[in-house]
Structure 1
Amino acid sequence: MDTRTLGTTGPSVSALGLGLMGMSDLYTGADDTESIATIHAALDAGVTLLDTGDFYGQGHNEMLLREALRGRNRENAVISVKFGSMRDPQGGWIGNDIRPNAIKNFLGYTLRRLGTDYVDVYRPSRISPDVPVEDVVGTLSELVAAGHIRNIGLSEVNAETLRRAHKVHPISDLQIEYSLISRGIEQEILPAARELGVGVTAYGVLSRGLISGHWSAQRTPAPNDFRAHLPRFSGENLDRNLALVEQLRTIAEARGVTVAQVAIAWVLGRGDDIVPLVGARRRDRLAEALGATGVTLTDADLAAIEAVVPAGAAAGTRYDAGHMAFLDSERA
């Protein structure tokens, strides 16, 4: 497994990271035994970056990771944690709290659930207009000085917010959606990150399975699967997006690889400062994703991909209107 560095100040990590969200929340069909086996397989393959959130399964995801790391060398894992999103007893979303005391409280619980005395990268899941980003990063810098966290990250912020935050304390990486069909960061956010020396951890590289090559028009997400509420997975949008996938399939088959491997390899090839996160919940899906690290797309491949899936080709927004309005990264 090749390695990359999260920005100019962050840790060295595997070129591909594992996102753990789906092992606890928002999708259906996860199994703890298979999830732990998948984390073990990732670690054995050289994957070091493990991404979680304290609100994934309301703590379940962190406890699952603790169990998976039991008996292994903690120093061999780079644990990235998001905080701030709040849930009610039914799992509903009830807002975001990133005030200084809330940050310290969230971290205290995270350290206990993970069974560790530090987190490698700690980041707010979303930025709130009610709390200046300078205050958030200032509090996180205190936690760095105290040794409780080693690096500060951000998630889904725009270029201006990133610059403001970086003035307070170096930001290791920005976690943000980036894929063949979600390329909004290319205009302003990615150039700003590169200007500042901030790495990018790209989530949604398969657009939650939509461009994995495994989704079909006949597949209906369960009501508790959040993809049931995403515009790209419904109606005519789904038909148009799956038509893009079929064109990608032609390119993939000509190379003797899968659609998912092409999509992941495309993100891997966008720069050494970008680390894709794959949300594999099973060992077979992990193995497929790992195969992308051996795929080098030629100039001819890239031109063919661009011809069938140009920027802006996707039908529908990446979240529903309410969530889109909450994203700092989508604000001008």
Structure 2
Amino acid sequence: MQTRKLGPFTVSAIGLGCMNLSHAYGHPVDEAEATRLLLRALDCGVDFLDTAALYGFGANESLLGRALKGHRQRFVLASKCGMTGVNGKRVIDGRPATIKATCDAALQRLQTDVIDLYYLHRLDFAVPIEESVGALADLVQAGKIRGIGLSEVSAVTLRRAHAVHPVTALQSEYSLWSREPEIAVLEACCELGVAFVAFSPLARGFLGGQLVNPQKQLEAGDIRLSMPRFEPDNYVRNLQLLPAFRSLAAELGGTPAQLALAWLLASKPEMLMIPGTRSIAHLEENLGAYRLQLDAATVAQLDSMIHPRHIAGERYNQATFAEIDSERFNTQA
């Protein structure tokens, strides 16, 4: 087990993203099965759990509240506001009143008195970041949250937010095939003392090596089916990168998923990551990444083996890109 600093907390470097238990990856997991997974994660030493008001439109927070009641002191809890479900539709709303109301509802669903890390899930382009962060600062003052986070924002936005109130963490997609944080955000986090949390560190399952045909293997409604990288023609091209990756993992005595996480652990020693899974077997497999000790040459080999310049398709479609603030390669600096 390796640990990382997250503001005032020390947590497992590999946490658990809870989204796919309730949201975006097909049908929600049976609650008894999800509860077993969450409790097994705690027993394995995973003590950083990530959820959001958006996930299942509150269902994921409610799941954690029920499943982990009585275990609250065993983990650091992160959730998110600013993007929720309203009348069955996803809505981005960073207005202070909405943020505060979302937090109050989340505390009830999570069955806790305080959320350790509360992210603004998306920047609301209609609301200055200073106003949204001001509302989060009020929640800190009120004792309802302990730290402020931001998700999928640019380095410029991070600096503006940090000037209002210290930001504990910034969360964005980061893996061998998604490197946008390298443009500016990682440097800004280091400069400001902000923890960086990588979501989708397994490239939404691609780097696990078992997703061969998304159109056949994924359930209807799975968010990946709307992502350009998972479109048939692009995915066939992307699969060509996996044989060498699998071979290197086997050579090092690990699985592809373990190698992907070990690359993050070795190349960015200050970084946290929150892979998600519905499977206890995959949870335990992911934690085996701690055993892979990669030298600098292997890190460099992986860096060049799978890189966005080799990947066919963007990570999001254009409608989603229009909603996020983070930097993009070849489109903005």
Give the letter aligned to residue 83 of structure 1: C
CA offset digits 1:114-170 (Å, max 9, x no partner): 111110000111001111111111111111011000000000000100011111111
Alignment of 1:294-305 (within 5 A): 294-305=291-302
For structure 1, the 5+ residue unaligned runs are: none
Q: Which one of the candidate residues 172, 176, 201 is aligned to 2:168?
A: 172
How far 1:307 sits from its partner (Å)? Answer: 3.4
Alignment correspondent of 1:17: 15
Aligned position for 2:32: 33
Match in the other structure for 1:136 = 132
Letter in 2 for 1:221: L
- Out of 230, 235, 238, the position equivalent to 1:238 is 235
Cross-structure match for 1:114: 110
Q: Is contact 1:27–1:226 with CA below 8 Å preserved after alignment? A: yes
How far off is 1:311 after superposition?
Answer: 4.4
Which moves more between the two structures, 235-244 or 191-200? 235-244
Output the CA distance in 2 between the equivalents of 1:11 and 1:50.
Answer: 13
Separation in 1, partners of 2:139, 2:308 = 39
The 3 A distance-change label for structure 1 pair 22 and 156 is same
Question: 3-state DSSP class of the match of 2:127?
Answer: coil
**Partner residue of 1:151?**
147
Superposed structure 1 runs of 4+ greater than 3 Å apart = none
Q: Secondary structure of the residue that 2:326 maps to in structure 1?
A: helix
Question: Number of aligned pairs?
Answer: 327
CA distance in 2, matches of 1:273, 1:64: 30
Q: Are 1:324 and 1:330, in contact at CA under 8 Å, matched by a contact in 2? A: no
Provide the rounded CA distance (Å) in 2 between the counterparts of 1:20 and 1:288.
17
Instruction: Look up the equivalent residue of 2:54 and give its one-letter code.
Output: F
Deviation at 1:312, TM superposition (A): 2.3
- What TM-score, normalized by structure 2, do the two folds share? 0.94
The answer (yes or no) to whether the contact 2:16–2:50 under 8 Å persists in 1 is yes
- CA distance in 1 between counterparts of 2:227 and 2:127 reads 28
Deviations 1:190-249 (A, max 9, x none): 111111111111001011111211111363423211111111111221012111122210
1:143-292 paired onto structure 2 within 5 Å: 143-217=139-213, 219-292=216-289
The 8 Å contact of residues 174 and 198 in structure 1, kept in 2 or not, is answered as yes
Tell me the CA shift for residue 10 of structure 1: 4.0
Measured after TM superposition, the shift of residue 36 of structure 1 is 1.0
User: Which deviates further from its counterpart, 99-108 or 215-224?
Assistant: 215-224
CA shift at 1:301, angstroms?
A: 1.9
Secondary structure of the 1:4 match is strand
The alpha-carbon deviation at position 308 of structure 1 amounts to: 2.0
**Identity %, equivalent residues:** 42
Q: Deviations over 1:20-45 (max 9, x none)?
A: 00000111252222211111111011
Does the 8 A contact of 2:69 with 2:111 survive in 1?
Answer: no
Partner amino acid, structure 2, of 1:37: R
Query: Which moved further from structure 2: 79-88 or 199-208?
Result: 79-88
Please give the alpha-carbon distance, in whole angstroms, between the structure 1 residues aligned to 2:69 and 2:137: 29
Retained in 2: the 8 A contact 1:34–1:283? Answer: no
* SS of residue in 2 equivalent to 1:5: strand
State the superposition RMSD in angstroms.
1.5
2:267 alignment partner, SS class: coil
Give CA deviations for 1:34-90 in whole Å, capped at 9, x if unaligned: 211111111011111000001111111011101221232x2221110011223244x
Tell me the residue number matched to 1:5: 5
**Contact residue 156 and residue 176 of structure 1 kept, 8 A:** yes
Mean CA deviation greater in 161-170 or 220-229: 220-229
Corresponding letter in the other structure for 1:279: G
Q: TM-score, normalised by structure 1?
A: 0.95
Q: Offset at 1:330?
A: 3.0
Aligned equivalent of 1:86:
84
Structure-2 change in CA distance of 1:2 and 1:306 (3 Å): closer
